[in-house]
Amino acid sequence: MKCETNDLLVPANAEIVLEGEAVPGARTEEGPHGESTGFYGENKQAFVIKINCVTHRHNPISYGLICQLIEDYPRSLFRSGSFQTLLVNATGMTNIREAYFPEVGRMGMMIVSAEIRDKDEPKRIMDAVWDLANWRWVIVVDEDCDVRNWNDVMWRVVSAADPDKGDVVFGKQHPPRQNRRTDEDDYDPPLRGMGIDATVRFKDATFPRVNKVSRELTGRVAARWKEFGLS
């Protein structure tokens, strides 16, 4: 549909529409703002936008977005799903069960659960992740791990990852990348990935069965929840 104050078209189902114009040549000091990296950003000269009109649908939804150590909107869910699809399509590894981007701190972390088929597969998964993105940290866990449960992930790291046996590895070092957000000669630092193989299969040590209800049994119980009168 057409805007109220100009001829631009905007989605008819948009939550909120801000109509305005960039003031030519005008700049104002911006920030510092708390960023999702956990640090305050710099004071920078920013464009000035003059708002002429605000429209919205009935009961509009706004995430608000307060950036502290972790952003307060589900960006991690959006980004995790898209990266998982990209990873599977690029590698053909249909044994990958889930890729999760927890979005804590700067430079990023990726946790990947997969049905591990041989002892070298965790390293192949790490290399595939580093080929697709500049993730600094990559943790690979077995398919029964809840990648969104930090306690579950860390239990596997401290229980199954042995640095002396090659379970902690360094990946390729990515070259510095020009920061495209400004016109300055500002560069991101070179990145070198670190991977942790927190899987239990195909290790030299013999691990007992993980004391955890399987996803299959959990799904079967959940499907009968109402039948048991527990809903």
Structural domain harbouring 10:
1-73
- Domain final residue pick, 47, 73, 99: 73
CA–centroid distance for 190 within its chain: 20
Residues 56 and 158 in one domain: no
pLDDT of the residue at 181: 43
> Is 57 within the bounds of a domain?
yes
- Domain final residue pick, 24, 40, 73: 73
Residues 112 and 197 in one domain: yes
Q: Which residues of 160-199 are buried (b: 16+ CB within 10 A; e: fewer)?
A: bbeeeeebebebeebeeeeeeeeeeeeeeeebebebbbbb
**Angle subtended at Cα 128 by Cα 122 and Cα 216, rounded to the nearest 5 degrees:** 50
> Is 139 within the bounds of a domain?
yes
Q: Which residues of 51-64 are buried (b: 16+ CB within 10 A; e: fewer)?
A: eeeeeeeeeeeeee
Give me the helices (H) in the chain, please.
75-91, 121-132, 150-160, 215-223
pLDDT of the residue at 230: 81
Q: For residue range 5-43, list pLDDT tens digits in order.
A: 999 999 999 999 999 999 999 999 988 877 766 677 788
> Is 34 within the bounds of a domain?
yes
Residues 109 and 15 in one domain: no
pLDDT of the residue at 80: 74
Residues 60 and 137 in one domain: no
Alpha carbons 106 and 38: distance in angstroms, whole number: 8
Alpha carbons 140 and 193: distance in angstroms, whole number: 13
Q: For residue range 113-145, list pLDDT tens digits in order.
A: 999 999 999 999 999 998 888 778 899 999 999
Percentage of the chain modeled with pLDDT above 90 = 46
> Is 230 within the bounds of a domain?
no
What pTM, to 2 d.p., does this model score?
0.64
Question: Measured over all CA atoms, what is the biggest interatomic distance in the chain, rounded to whole angstroms?
Answer: 70
> Is 156 within the bounds of a domain?
yes
Alpha carbons 220 and 73: distance in angstroms, whole number: 31
Residues 88 and 136 in one domain: yes
Of the candidates 152, 112, 151, the one whose C-alpha atom is nearest the C-alpha of residue 135 is 112
Judged against a pLDDT cut of 60, whether residue 190 lies above it is answered with: no
Judged against a pLDDT cut of 80, whether residue 186 lies above it is answered with: no
> Is 231 within the bounds of a domain?
no
Structure-token pair, residue 78? 């959006």
- Domain final residue pick, 38, 58, 73: 73
How many domains does the chain divide into?
2
| CATH for 216 | 3.40.1670.10
Residues 117 and 187 in one domain: yes
Alpha carbons 147 and 97: distance in angstroms, whole number: 10
Residues 15 and 68 in one domain: yes
Residues 137 and 96 in one domain: yes
- Find the mean pLDDT for residues 92-106: 83
Residues 125 and 168 in one domain: yes
Residues 46 and 80 in one domain: no
